[in-house]
Amino acid sequence: MTSVLVTGAGGLIGTAVAEAARQAGYDVTRVLRKATGEADVLERDLRRPLKDVPPCDWVFHLAGGYAGAGKCALRRADLKIARNLARWGRDNSVKNWVVASAAEVYGCIDGLGSEEAPTRPVIPYGAVKLAVEKLFRHAAKPDGRLVLLRIGEVYGPKARLIRELTGRLKRGRCPWPGSGRVPVSFVHVEDVAGAFLCAAERAPEGIAIYNVADDAPTTWRAFVCRIAELQDCRPPIFVPRWLARAYAMVDEFASLMAGRPPVLTGHALSLLTTPKALSNRRIVAELGFRPRYPNWRAGLEATLHGLSHDAQDGRAQSGAARASA
C-alpha cells in the first residue's frame, strides 16, 4: 500500500486531500500541530526540526500561513516549515512530493496564464510561495518526483472565503474595492484534492508544475454577485480603488493604535485587484485531471445549497476517479 504523509491536514485543503487519499486506498498519516487522539495523526510543529516522523512514499505538503498574512509572518511559517520538511526528506530519502503553491506566484497575469507565464509576485504570499517552490526544486532528487501545484482561488462549504463573504453580504456591509471586474480562476476544494491524487498517480519523474483551476475563469464581481443572489442578499457596493486604498491606509494605522485587526489591508487590496486567471490545459492533458465542478457556478450552487453536482453538469465526476479509470 502506498504511504502518504499529509502536512497541514487540519486545514481546508489538507482535510479534503487526506480524506480523498484515504478513500483512494492510500495509507495516510496526517500531521497536525495539535493531537486529536486519532491513530493516523502525528502532533508536530513543523516550524521546528522534524523528529520521529516515519518515511513514506509520498509527501503531500500543504502546511503554511494564511494568504492575508504579512511577509514576516509568512516567512516565519512557510519558509521555516519548508526548510525543516526538505531537510527531513533528504535525511529519510523521501523521493516523491506534491507541494501546494498558489496562483499568486505569477503576480499580475495578462490574459489566461499558463505555467510558462512570468513569476513576478506582487504580494508577500506569492513571493513566499515562490521561495518555497525554489527551495523544494533545489532539494528534489534526480530519480524522484516533485509536483508543484499552483492553485487558484479555493472555495467550498467550509472555506473562509465563503464564510466571510456570506456573513458580510447578509449583514449588508460588503464594500468591494474597485469594479470587481478582475479576472480570477476558482477551484472547488474537492477538485484540489483530486489534483493531488492525479499528481501522485500520473506525474512524470522529475520536476513538474501544474495550474489547478476549473475550466471557466470569471471575475470577482460575477462570483460575489452570484453569492448574493443565491443568498437573497443585496450585492456588494463597488467603491473606487483609490478610495479603498486610502481607507486601507487609515484603517491599518487606526488598528495598530487600537490593537485590533484591520478591516482592510493593502495586502488584501492587492489580493482582490490583481488578475489571476489560469489555464488548466496542462494538468488536464498530462495528468487526466477532470474537475468535478468544471465551472464555478455549479460548484458555488452545490456549496451554498447542497445541489447535486450531477444535476449541475453531466460531466461531473471526481478528478481522481477519472485519472485512475
**CB-based contact 128:134 (threshold 8 Å):** no
Q: State the residue for C-alpha cell 486601507.
A: 248
The lowest-confidence range among 95-104, 105-114, 251-260 is 251-260
What per-residue confidence (pLDDT) applies to 315? 40
Would you tell me how many other CB atoms lie within 10 Å of the CB of residue 262? 19
What per-residue confidence (pLDDT) applies to 70? 67
Look at residue 319 and tell me whether its pLDDT is greater than 50. no
Q: State the residue for C-alpha cell 507565464.
A: 117
What per-residue confidence (pLDDT) applies to 69? 63
Domain layout of the chain by residue ranges = 3-224+269-324
Q: State the residue for C-alpha cell 527531513.
A: 88
Rounded mean pLDDT of 284-288? 98
What per-residue confidence (pLDDT) applies to 75? 78
CA–CA dist 210, 197 (Å, integer): 13
Look at residue 38 and tell me whether its pLDDT is greater than 90. no
CATH class assigned to 3-224+269-324: alpha beta
Paired with 155 in beta bridges are: 188
- Look at the chain and count its residues: 325
